[in-house]
Each structure stands twice: as C-alpha cells, then as structure tokens.
C-alpha cells in the first residue's frame, strides 16, 4: 500500500498541523513522522481512501486508523500524543 502523496494530504492540513505540534515528532516527508530515529506515524492512500498507521503502544508494529470523521481524527491525535510521550520516556 502506497504512502499518501502531498496532494492527497492537502485536505488534512488541520490534522497535520496538530500532529506537527506533538513534542518529539519529526516530519521527514509530508505525512511521514518519526520519533527519534524510528518510524512513528504515516498516511496511506488506498484508491482515494486515506488512513494512518500509528506505532503501537509497545513499540512493535503499527495500528491502522481511519480518519474520515473529526472524531476519528481527534482519536488519532490523542493516541499519537499519548504514545509519543510514552515511547519518548522509554
């Protein structure tokens, strides 16, 4: 599954701004975030359907998040903040 292009991410600029504010995250390419030197969060575009993979709490593997609604986007941001803080402590 391909990472989302910068063009596909344009409608998600408010969501991207929130993710960019999370302490410790670095956006290596549009929509591809790292925590320290480890992949942490990235967007996928599957036939026009956007989703996000977020590093699991234990640090092993990723969990897929739908981001179609504002509530789904809020959950992603909240979980990303919580997981980034926890993984940054370890």
pLDDT (tens digit per residue) in 43-90: 999 988 999 999 998 878 999 999 999 999 999 999 999 999 988 776
Q: What is the mean pLDDT of residues 24-45?
A: 95
> What's the chain's Rg over C-alpha atoms?
12
Contact (Cβ atoms closer than 8 angstroms) between residue 56 and residue 63 = yes
For residue 47, the model assigns a pLDDT of 87
Q: Is 72 helix (H, G, I), strand (E, B) or coil?
A: helix
Predicted TM-score (pTM) of the model is: 0.92
Q: What is the mean pLDDT of residues 14-24?
A: 96
């Amino acid at each position: 599954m391909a990472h989302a292009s910068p063009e596909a991410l344009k409608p998600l600029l408010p969501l991207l701004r929130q993710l960019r504010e999370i302490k410790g995250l670095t956006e290596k390419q549009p929509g591809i975030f790292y925590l320290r030197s480890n992949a942490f969060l990235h967007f996928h575009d599957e036939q026009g359907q956007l989703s996000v993979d977020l590093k699991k709490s234990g640090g092993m593997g990723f969990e897929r998040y739908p981001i179609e609604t504002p509530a789904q986007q809020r959950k992603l941001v909240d979980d990303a903040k919580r997981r980034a803080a926890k993984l940054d402590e370890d």
